[in-house]
Amino acid sequence: MKKWLVTTTLLSMITVLAAGCSGGAADTGKTGGAGTSSGKKTELTFWGDWGGEGQKQFQTMVEAFNKSQDKIHVKYVLQQDMITKFLTSATNGGAPDILFWDRWRTSLYAPKNVLHPVDEYLKRDGISKDDFYSESLKELTNGGKLYGLPLTVDARALFYNKKLLAEAGVQPPKTWDELEAAAAKLTKWKGDKLEVAGFSMGDLGLFNMYLQQAGGQMLTDDGKTNFNNDKGKQVLEFWDRLMNKDKVYKVGFELGLGEGQDAFVTGKVAMLYSGPWMLSTYNKYGKDLEYGIVPPPAGPGGNKASVMGGFGLVIPEGSKHHDEAWEFIKWWTANKDNALLWAKTSLNMPGFKPALEDPFFKNDPQWKPFMDTLEFAKIRPTHPGYSVMETDALAPNLQLNQQQKQSMNDTLKKAQEQGDKLLKDNAVVK
C-alpha cells in the first residue's frame, strides 16, 4: 500500500490548491469584518488536540487554505484538555473560531448552545448532504440542527495474518461460525501458556457491534437499554465459547506490549478487529507482516454490523467570525481536491464521499474493506447519557463476566439496571 507521500508532491498539490481550489469567502460576499472593510485578513483561530504528526497534518491543511485566498488567515492552536478550555472560553469571550470535534460529543454539548448550526450555510452554498455518510451527519445533529461537517470516517473491520491463516488452512471468516472455527484452528498453546491467540477479545467496547450482528440494538426508541434479552445473551454465549470452550484468547494477553511489540505485528494474535487508523502502524512496524482485511463477519441471522466513528469540524457559537469559519470548514470538508489532500496527508478516510472515488482509494485493496463496511456501519446512539452508560454500567459488568466472576444473566441484568439509571440521570444536558 502506498503509505508514503513525497514531500515535493505534497508541496505541488498545495500550490495547485492555492491557485485554483479556493472555497474562500470572496465567493459568497459574506465575509465581512476586517477581510473586506480595511483590506486586512480576518484572523481565525482553529483549536485541536492533535499534536506531533497530527499537528503537522493540520498545519498542512491550514497553510494550503491560507494560500488559496487572501481574505482569511487561519492559525492552528494545539490545546490540551481542549473541551474543558472550550467550555470555559464559551462563557468568557475567548472562544476559538473553528474546533476539531469528536462527533459523538454533539449530543452532550449542542444543547448547551455552545455550537453554531450550519444548516443555512449548506442551503446557501448548495452543499448536498448526500455527499456525506448519513450516519456521520446524524452524529453531528441535535434537535433537528446540523452543527458541522464530517472530517473523517472510520469503522472496525477484521484484520488477519495471511501466513498464519494459510498455515492453518483456513479462509478469512464471513460469519460467526466461520470466525469461531478459524480462531480455534489458529490458536496455539504450550502447556498452560498461550503462544498465539486465534482472535483478540481484549476490547469489550465492541459489544455494541456484536449486538447489532446478533440483530439487536443498544437502546430502545424511548432511550432505555436494550441488551438484557436473547440478543444480548447470544453475544455473551458466543464470547463464552470463544474464551472458555475454544480457548482462543486469555484475559490480559495483549497487555504491557509497546507499539513495536504489538501482538498482531509480532504474530501473537492471528485475527483482530481494528480500524484504518492502524494501517500506518502495521506497515511501519510489521515489515515481515503480511495481512489482509475483510468486513466484520455477519451474525447468525446474516446481520452485518460495525460502528462508525470519526471527527468533524464545528463552529463555536462564541466565535465572532461564523461566516469566515464556515468558509474554512467548507473548503476542507466539502471539496474533493482538498478532502483528498487531507486523506493523503493524514492517511485518514475523509468524510466527503466523492474523495473516496479517487484512485488513491479505489486502486488500493486495503481501503476497500473499510469502504464496504462503512456502507452498513452505524454510529453509537446519540442519547446524551450513552457514553456514561457504556463506560460506567456495561463495561464493568462485561469485564466481570469475561473474568468468570459473574454469570451471563446477572451481567445483563445488572448492566441494564445500572445503565437505565445512568441514562435517566443524564437524559437532560445541564
**Torsion angles phi and psi, residue 312, rounded to 5:** -140, 180
Q: What is the mean pLDDT of residues 400-422?
A: 98
Confidence at residue 429, expressed as pLDDT on a 0 to 100 scale? 86
C-alpha–C-alpha distance, residues 228 and 218, integer Å: 10
- Owner of C-alpha cell 464493568: 396
Q: What single-letter amino acid sits at 274?
A: S
The three-state secondary structure class of 191 is: coil
To the nearest 10°, report the CA torsion of 199, 297, 376, 141: -30
31-35, 99-103, 139-143, range with the lowest pLDDT: 31-35
Q: Mean pLDDT across the chain, nearest whole number?
A: 90
> Which pLDDT does position 38 carry in this prediction?
58
Sorted by sequence, the CB contacts under 8 Å of residue 266 that are 6+ apart come out as 257
**CA-wise closest residue to 153 among 396, 1, 326, 371:** 371
| Out of 169-178, 182-191, 274-283, 384-393, least confident range | 274-283
Query: Parallel, antiparallel, or unpaired: how do β-strands 42-48 and 72-78 relate?
Result: parallel
* Topology classification of domain 7-154+309-374: D-Maltodextrin-Binding Protein; domain 2 (3.40.190)
409 touches 387 (CB < 8 A) = no
pLDDT at 138: 97
Output phi, psi for 378, to 5 deg.
Answer: -120, 145
Residue 92: CB partners within 8 Å, gap ≥ 6?
none
Contact yes or no for 333/151 (Cβ under 8 A): yes
Q: Please report the pLDDT score of residue 406 as a whole number.
A: 98
Residue 285 pLDDT? 80
The alpha-helical segments, DSSP class H, found in 96-228 are: 106-109, 119-125, 134-139, 162-168, 176-186, 207-213
Return all residues near 218 (Cβ < 8 A) that are at least 6 apart.
208, 211, 225, 226, 227, 380, 381, 386, 390
pLDDT band at 397 (very low <50, low <70, confident <90, very high): very high
pLDDT value for 39: 74
Q: Are residues 215 and 176 in contact, defined by beta-carbon separation less than 8 angstroms?
A: no
Q: Which residue has the higher pLDDT, 414 or 24?
A: 414
pLDDT in tens, 32-68: 344 445 579 999 999 999 999 999 999 999 999 999 9
Tell me the percentage of the chain whose pLDDT exceeds 70: 90
Taking the domains of the chain in order of start, what are their residue ranges?
Answer: 7-154+309-374, 155-307+381-425
C-alpha cell at 259: 507499539
| Domains 7-154+309-374 and 155-307+381-425 equal at CATH topology level | yes
Q: 155-307+381-425 falls under which CATH superfamily? A: Periplasmic binding protein-like II (3.40.190.10)
CA distances from 240 to 47, 195, 264, 400 (A): 44, 20, 22, 12
Say what the pLDDT of residue 280 is: 85
Where helices occur in 227-303 by DSSP H, the ranges are 230-240, 279-285
Tell me how far apart the alpha carbons of residues 57 and 167 are, in angstroms, rounded to a whole number: 40
Across 131-154, average pLDDT: 98
Q: What is the pLDDT of residue 22?
A: 35
Neighbours of 164 (CB within 10 A): 21
Query: Is the Cα torsion angle 240, 245, 248, 254 positive or negative in sign?
Result: positive
Bridge-partner residues for 154, per DSSP? 309
Cα dihedral sign, 367-262-7-348 = positive
Q: What percent of the chain has pLDDT over 90?
A: 84
Q: Give pLDDT, residue 66.
A: 98
